[in-house]
Homo-oligomer: A and B are copies of this chain.
Amino acid sequence: MAPSPSPIATFVPVAPDSHFSIHNLPYGVFSSRSDATPRPGVAIGEQVLDLRAIAAAGLFTGPLLRDSDCFHQTSLNRFMAMGRAAWKETRGTVQKLLSADEPALRDNTDLRKKAFFPLNEVKMELPAVIGDYTDFFSSKHHALNCGKIFRGVDALQDNWLHVPIAYHGRSSSIVTSGHPITRPCGQVAPAAGSSSPAFKPSSLLDFELEMAMFVGPGNELGTQIPVESAYDHIFGLVLMNDWSARDIQRWEAIPLGPFLGKSFATTISPWIVTLEALEPFICNPPAQDPPPLPYLKEPQGKSYDIALEVTIKPDGDPKGSTICRSNFKHLYWTLGQQLAHHTVNGCNLRPGDLLASGTISGPEQGSLGCLLEQSWGGREQVALENGGSRKFLEDGDEVVISGHCKGDGYLVGFGTCSGKLEPPRCSC
């Protein structure tokens, strides 16, 4: 059980199992029926607090936020760029405004009408303009399983325990939870006996359970962010589904890595949970042996105890089957190491960049973070509760990722990251 932060009562109704307790206060960008302009908000219980409305009412009175127009933007990039001191000031202000014994918002009926929107009535937008998106490969279990499945080798690649391996992903096709996913078409390897590859809808469509960090302040090109200060550059985390077409990926990926097998869609959850909110859930990462090179050596490595689940809901089965229960803490490389590694060559990060973890697989069968692993490369059926089974996803399947941290009587949750698979649109 995580240590309890000082209890705060809020005047907003929050159910005990709500992901969006007063201890959370995640940031997102939303639009409403009454106003289609995207603007920053904070989720609390079943409500969204409109930060633009709060700023317009002059309630951000702290020295860093007072004169800022960061909440009058259509994305969080400007707020992300302001850094931890501004984030702390904002969190303090919002927590105070929402608290039960603070009248400023509670007793201002007019402002409450303008500043609160029911969560289930708003449209969530991408929280930031994502300049670059990077996907790491930081679960040792996942890396080992991929080696066994693809190469029949029970060993990591030579570099894996030294390098937090990553590749550049496609930022244009990142969408928020709920966006339908079209089954992609593409080239796959020649069938046995044929010399020509086939062009067809992917028949090995998969999810990947991941989480991803949004970058706060960036760094100048040619400079490094040392691992000691890496966390000052991390705004917060979201859930992510790195949809993957295994047949397309396998045929194209040698020698330059994944491309069209990934770039057709990536889904993130719309609410960014800040590192401040996650502090009570810090835990030790796995021991690293061999010890990492000095530039990756952390005074005190830290991970986060975030319970994760993946549920597949076939068409017409709204309950679905939870086929994976994993945890962020299974990751071998930490957030700080990923970020420090990313900049060690002088590569510049920008506010709003997204760095994903890679598939978060744990040690047990039930904690494997993608169907490729769960079906062991398509050799085994994964049973569903409705009597069906899957090796890979079928059209109409909805994949729902959820994640939360359990505090003493409250949750700090991420909501859900979902997407429903639609049939291919191409005519092949």
Contact = CB atoms under 8 A, between A and B. Distances in A.
Interface of A: 131-132, 137, 146, 157-159, 162-163, 165-173, 175, 182, 184-187, 189, 195-197, 199, 218, 221-224, 245, 248, 251-261, 263-265, 290, 293-295, 341-342, 344-350, 353, 425-426, 428
Nearest to A347: B263
A26 to B, nearest CB: 25
Q: Which 10 residue pairs are nearest across A and B when measured between Cβ atoms?
A: A257-B257, A184-B345, A168-B168, A167-B256, A182-B222, A260-B345, A263-B347, A264-B345, A256-B257, A264-B346
Nearest to A255: B157
A261 B344 CA distance: 11
A403 to B, nearest CB: 24
Q: Which of A163, A166, A182, A224 is packed against the most chain B CB atoms within 10 Å? A: A163
B254 A157 contact: yes
Contact of A294 (B162, B168, B199, B221): B199
B293 A199 contact: yes
Given A185-B344, A185-B346, A295-B428, 15 more contacts: A132-B172, A162-B196, A163-B197, A172-B221, A185-B224, A186-B345, A199-B293, A199-B294, A221-B264, A222-B425, A257-B257, A257-B258, A260-B342, A265-B346, A346-B426
Nearest to A425: B222
Given A167-B259, A168-B169, A257-B255, A187 B293 contact: yes
Contacts of A293: 187, 196-197, 199
B254 A159 contact: yes
Given A260-B344, A428-B295, A162 B197 contact: yes
A223 to B, nearest CB: 7
